[in-house]
Structure 1
Amino acid sequence: MAELNTEWALEKLRGFLRVLELRYVPDGPNTFGFAHYALANPKEEVQAAAQVAEQILDRIVLDWRTADWIAPAKQAWWRHREATHRAIAQLEAQEELEANLGSVGPKLSAASLHPWVWGSIAGLWGSGHFGEAVGAAARAINAQAQSKLGRRDASEWALLSDAFSPNRPIEGHPRLRLSEDDGGDTFRNQHAGAGDLARGLYRAVRNPLSHEETEIAENVALEYVAAFSVLARWVDAAEVLPADN
Structure 2
Amino acid sequence: MNVDVDWAQGELAQFLQLTELYRAPDPPGIMVIGPRKANRGSQEDIIASAHVVEQILDRVLPRWRAEVPASPRVNRWSQHREAVQRAVVVLQRDAEIQGRLGDDAPQLNAASLHAWVWSAAQPLWRDRHFREAVTAAARRVNRETQNKVGRRDVTETPLFQTVFSKDDPKPGQPRLRLMPDDGSDTFRSVQRGAAAFAEGCYAGIRNPNSHEDGLPELPEHEALEQLAAFSVLARWVDTASLVQ
Give TM class, smaller chain: 0.7 to 0.9
1:53 Cα shift?
A: 2.4
Partner residue in 2 for 1:217: 219
Written as runs of structure 1 = structure 2, the 5 A alignment for 1:50-199 is 50-61=50-61, 63-65=62-64, 70-75=67-72, 76=76, 80-94=80-94, 96-97=96-97, 100=100, 103-199=103-199
Q: Give the whole-Å Cα distance in 2 for the aligned partners of 1:80 and 1:176.
A: 48
Residue matched to 2:9: 10
The alignment partner of 1:192 has SS state of helix
Contact 2:71 2:79 in 1 (8 A): no
CA shift digits 1:205-224 (9 cap, x unpaired): 11111123443222221111
Query: Which one has a bigger Cα radius of gyration?
Result: 2
Q: Name the amino acid aligned to 1:74.
A: S
Contact kept, 8 Å, 2:17 with 2:40, in 1: the verdict is no
Alignment of 1:196-207 (within 5 A): 196-207=196-207
Q: Deviations over 1:8-47 (max 9, x none)?
A: 221112112333445689xxxxxxxxx8988665555334
> Offset at 1:124?
0.9
The change in CA–CA distance for 1:124 and 1:77 in structure 2 (over 3 A counts) is: farther
Q: Quick one: structure 1 residues 185 and 83, their matched pair in 2 at CA, closer, same or farther if it must change by over 3 Å?
A: farther
Range with bigger deviation, 177-186 or 129-138 = 177-186
Between the aligned partners of 2:237 and 2:80, the Cα distance in structure 1 is 36
Counterparts of 2:36 and 2:201, CA distance in 1: 52
Query: Partner amino acid for 1:117?
Result: V
| Residue type of the alignment partner of 1:57 | L
Give the conservation status (yes or no) of the 8 Å contact 1:58–1:109.
Answer: no
C-alpha separation between the residues in 2 aligned to 1:236 and 1:79? 41
Instruction: Quote the Cα distance in structure 1 between the aligned partners of 2:131 and 2:99.
Output: 37
Deviation at 1:230, TM superposition (A): 1.1
Report SS of the residue matched to 1:240: strand
Residue of structure 2 in register with 1:231 after alignment? 233
Tell me the amino acid that sits aligned with residue 18 of structure 2. V
Mapped contact 2:134–2:226 kept (Cα < 8 A) = yes
Q: TM-score by structure 1 length?
A: 0.79
Q: d(CA) in 2 for partners of 1:127 and 1:173?
A: 39
Which whole-Å CA distance do the structure 2 matches of 1:157 and 1:104 have between them?
A: 37
1:78 Cα offset (Å): 5.4
Q: TM-score, normalised by structure 2?
A: 0.79
Q: Give distance in 1, aligned partners of 2:99 and 2:130.
A: 34
RMSD: 2.9
Partner Cα distance (1:155, 1:7) in 2: 45
**Partner AA of 1:232 in structure 2:** A
CA gap of 1:101–1:150, structure 2 versus 1, over 3 A, is same
- How many residue pairs get aligned? The number is 229
Q: Determine if contact 1:164/1:176 at 8 Å carries over to the other structure.
A: yes
1 CA distance for matches of 2:37 and 2:188? 66
